[in-house]
Amino acid sequence: MSGNDQAAGTIRKLWPADRSAFRDHLLRLDEASRRSRFGAPVSDSFIADYARTAFRLDSIILAHFEGSRIRAAAELRGLSFAFTPTAEAAITVETTWRNRGLASQLMDRLLVSAQNRRVSQIYMICLRENGVMQHVARKFGARLSFDQDEVIGKLDPAWPTPASLLREGWQDANGFVTAVIEWPQ
Ligand SMILES: CC(C)(COP(=O)(O)OP(=O)(O)OC[C@H]1O[C@@H](n2cnc3c(N)ncnc32)[C@H](O)[C@@H]1OP(=O)(O)O)[C@@H](O)C(=O)NCCC(=O)NCCS
């Protein structure tokens, strides 16, 4: 693929049965990407543990699939059942799939999921040198505050609307059908 190509594939929400595909996606990240994602260099066993516990009631994970392989993922974690919960978001895109708009597409969908759960604020933490993530966050209206080593982006999703509920419901239904058709036999 050449730069700026549209990334072929589908985006859908993950289920616990996708755990190993999610783990394998994170394991394919190189050292620099792991540091960017987790804020420190992390081992394969850390990633395996992380993926094992990632599918919690308080989290939503969206992913871009190329066939049965996840090439990019966006996580919304820490959702509580409070009336206006806050949550943390994180995105990972495999190196050869970058600069094709995947993080932006995932971010757009993650924001709708957050909106529909009445999340009042989303936090995104990235390293200071991570200009790409800061650019993507800014595109979605994040306010960035700079620390010595890291940058915190804050987003305020809108209140749910019939259109946002319909959009997520429609995408979930599509995702379910796609998953059933493409599930590895
Ligand atoms: C950060 C990351 C998720 C971006 O993914 P991506 O799919 O390449 O992002 P997109 O293609 O949607 O958008 C990239 C944008 O950044 C711009 N960009 C590229 N290089 C840039 C740079 N050095 N500085 C600023 N912007 C840059 C692109 O032009 C594009 O802008 P546009 O949408 O206005 O056209 C990906 O690089 C990644 O996974 N990094 C490792 C993990 C990580 O850092 N996660 C974030 C912390 S949680």
Q: Write the DSSP string, 105-120.
A: HHHHHHHHHHHHTT--
- Sign of the CA dihedral with 65 first, then 67, 70, and 72 last: negative
What is the count of structural domains for the chain?
A: 1
- Residue 4 pLDDT > 60, yes or no? no
The answer to the question of residue 4 being in a domain is no
CATH code (residue 44): 3.40.630.30
- Residue 6 pLDDT > 70, yes or no? no
**Ligand 1: residues within 6 Å at CB?**
33, 36-37, 90-93, 98-104, 126, 130-133, 135-136, 139
Q: How confident is the model at residue 41 (pLDDT cuts 50, 70, 90)?
A: very high
How many Å lie between the centroid of ligand 1 and the Cα of residue 137?
A: 9
- Sign of the CA dihedral with 183 first, then 7, 137, and 32 last: positive
- Sign of the CA dihedral with 31 first, then 53, 67, and 74 last: negative
How many Å lie between the centroid of ligand 1 and the Cα of residue 126?
A: 12
The larger pLDDT score, comparing residue 75 to residue 78, is at 75
**Cβ atoms 74, 106 nearer than 8 A:** yes
| Whether the predicted model's global pTM rises above the 0.85 cut | yes
The larger pLDDT score, comparing residue 115 to residue 8, is at 115
Shortest-distance Cα residue to atom 14 of ligand 1: 99
The answer to the question of residue 17 being in a domain is yes
**Cβ atoms 118, 154 nearer than 8 A:** no
The answer to the question of residue 168 being in a domain is yes
- Domain hosting 146: range is 10-182
- Residue 134 pLDDT > 50, yes or no? yes
**Cβ atoms 153, 137 nearer than 8 A:** yes
Mean pLDDT for 20-45 is 97
Closest ligand 1 atom number to CA of residue 126: 47
The answer to the question of residue 2 being in a domain is no
